[in-house]
Every structure is written in C-alpha cells, then in structure tokens.
C-alpha cells in the first residue's frame, strides 16, 4: 500500500484499493466457507458468484469508509509503458511494479508498505510496516 502525506493529504491508487479489497474478500470467504487453501478458495468463489456478491456487500462499505474517514485521494495508476520500465529496471512483480510506477509518475517518494521488495527501488523512501 502506498500513502503520501502532503500536509494532511494521503494518496493511494486504484490498484492498491483492488489489492485491499481482494484480501478482505478472500479473508472473509475463508471464514464463511472454511476453505483455507488459496486455489481451492478461488475455485469455490469463481463457482459461487453469489457468495462473492454477499461478501463484497460487506467489504465495500468498509473499504469506502476507511478511504473517506482518512480522506485518502485515489489516483489513477501509471501507464503500462511506465510500468514496463519499472519492471525491467527493478524486477518487481506486476502489481508492485504498477504501484512503484504510479509513485514515480506522480513524483511520490515516500511509500508505506508491508512489502520489503520496494526497498530495492531507488526512487522510493520506504517505510516498511513489518
């Protein structure tokens, strides 16, 4: 997840919101179904879209409330060309690459994350929460 504080402004991007929402849906689905194995759970969710809809109806208000409460601005991600440049130079996996490329695109230097992979990106000052 990346956040930048400019006075009282925090920002993130749509792909980070996607990641947060996915993890929340997956974790709640484990509780609902009792399925813990990743691919078994994904198979179940693909075959049971009503379960996904039900869980999403609980998750989406939580994510929206957090964004609103913290007044987080959601930015559009960088272009695919910017993403490809970052993956070629830093060897991050695609979603992390898009986060780093979005930071670079908007001139964001500070990144708050749980992911140590960002520490090898020289244009970011990483605050690792692990």
Name the 3-class secondary structure at 6.
Answer: strand
Among 94, 93, 128, 122, CA closest to 109: 122
The per-residue pLDDT for 9 is 79
Per-residue confidence (pLDDT) for residue 6, from 0 to 100 = 47
Dihedral (Cα; 117, 123, 127, 130), 10-degree rounding: 0
Provide the domain count of the chain. Answer: 1
Domain extent for 42: 19-69
Res 8: pLDDT: 59
Please tell me the distance from the alpha carbon of residue 15 to that of residue 91, in angstroms, as a whole number: 18
Separation of alpha carbons 60 and 22, rounded Å: 10
pLDDT of residue 49: 96
Give me the pLDDT at residue 128, please: 85
pLDDT score, position 130: 80
**pLDDT tens, residue order, the chain (130 aa):** 555 544 457 899 999 999 999 999 999 999 999 999 999 999 999 999 999 999 999 999 999 999 999 899 999 999 999 999 999 999 999 999 999 999 999 999 999 999 999 999 999 999 888 8
Longest CA–CA separation in the chain, Å: 46
């Amino acid at each position: 997840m990346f956040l930048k504080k400019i006075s009282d402004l925090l920002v993130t991007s749509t792909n980070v919101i996607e990641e947060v929402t996915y993890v929340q849906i997956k974790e709640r689905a484990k509780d609902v179904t009792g399925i813990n194995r990743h691919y078994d759970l994904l198979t179940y969710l693909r075959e049971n879209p009503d379960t996904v809809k039900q869980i999403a109806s609980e998750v989406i208000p939580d994510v929206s409330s957090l964004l609103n409460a913290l007044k987080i601005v959601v930015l559009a991600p960088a272009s695919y060309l910017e993403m490809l440049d970052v993956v070629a130079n830093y060897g991050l996996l695609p979603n992390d690459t898009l986060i780093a490329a979005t930071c670079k695109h908007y001139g964001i230097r500070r990144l708050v994350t749980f992911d140590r992979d960002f520490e090898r990106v020289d244009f970011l000052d990483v605050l690792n929460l692990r």
